[in-house]
Amino acid sequence: MATALPNCDIALIDRAVTSLAAAFGDPKSFIRQIVGGDLSDDHVLCRLVPVHFALMAISGEVSYLTHLLAERGFKITQQFPSEVVTARLVKKYHRPDIAVTILKAQNRSGQELELFVVTQGLAKEEVVRELPSCTHFAFTVEREMLPRVPQVADELGKNGFVPSGGGLNEVEGVTVLYFERGRGVLGSVTVEILIPEICRDLVEWHKMP
């Protein structure tokens, strides 16, 4: 089993590349597919802007993942510790030595992949179990849409999504809110809403139920 695990990275990255092409090719249709509702073009959810597809890598070798991404036309643009995911895993497994690095990669079209790489503290089999919790579609709201973030959350709730945590990304100066739905057109789906500024009160408001 252990020798076959890296092949999972290949399959996951290929699926992510396909999803990115769909999201950036026709954002409104992609959002409708995720939400599963008949949304008008001016619906608040259809005004979300796709940012990236994120997944957790099974291999902890950054050079191996960089090679996989390069073969698919993606170049690493950023690499930094993931405070939000690391904190969640440390709390869940009670292991203070867990470390997670974020790799951001873009292709020539500006489509972005985000990989959460567990560099220490978890066995590969444990990383496999964590895959669903880190795989998500990320969208951002434009600054003029900031007052409507609660409405975005409300509309996601009407379509079966519930708050599933979030936090502050001090490195990039953004606030992240997660929503998940256990069932739907695409099965289990997690959506990340990126807010282009630090909003501590919004994170407090978005507490998990």
Q: How many helices (H) and strands (E) does the chain have?
A: 7, 8
Q: Is the pLDDT of residue 209 over 60?
A: no
What is the domain extent for residue 155? Answer: 2-205
Between residues 184 and 153, which one has the greater pLDDT? 153
The CATH number of whichever domain residue 34 belongs to comes to 3.10.180.10
Instruction: Using alpha carbons, list the distances in angstroms from residue 158 to 37, 87, 136, 153, 181.
Output: 10, 29, 19, 9, 11
- What's residue 7's pLDDT? 66
Whole-model pTM?
A: 0.78
Q: Is the pLDDT of residue 173 over 50?
A: yes
- What's residue 73's pLDDT? 95
Mean pLDDT of 44-65: 89
Number of domains in the chain: 1
Torsion angle (degrees, nearest 10) of CA 64, 69, 72, 74 = -150
In three-state secondary structure terms, 75 is strand
Residues 6+ apart with CB under 8 A from 165: 84, 88, 178, 208
Q: Which residue has the tokens 């960089």?
A: 66
Q: How far apart are CA 182 and CA 129, in angstroms?
A: 16
In three-state secondary structure terms, 143 is helix
pLDDT-derived band at 184 (thresholds 50, 70, 90) equals very low
If you average pLDDT over every residue of the chain, what do you get?
85
84-103 residue pLDDT tens: 789 889 999 999 999 999 99
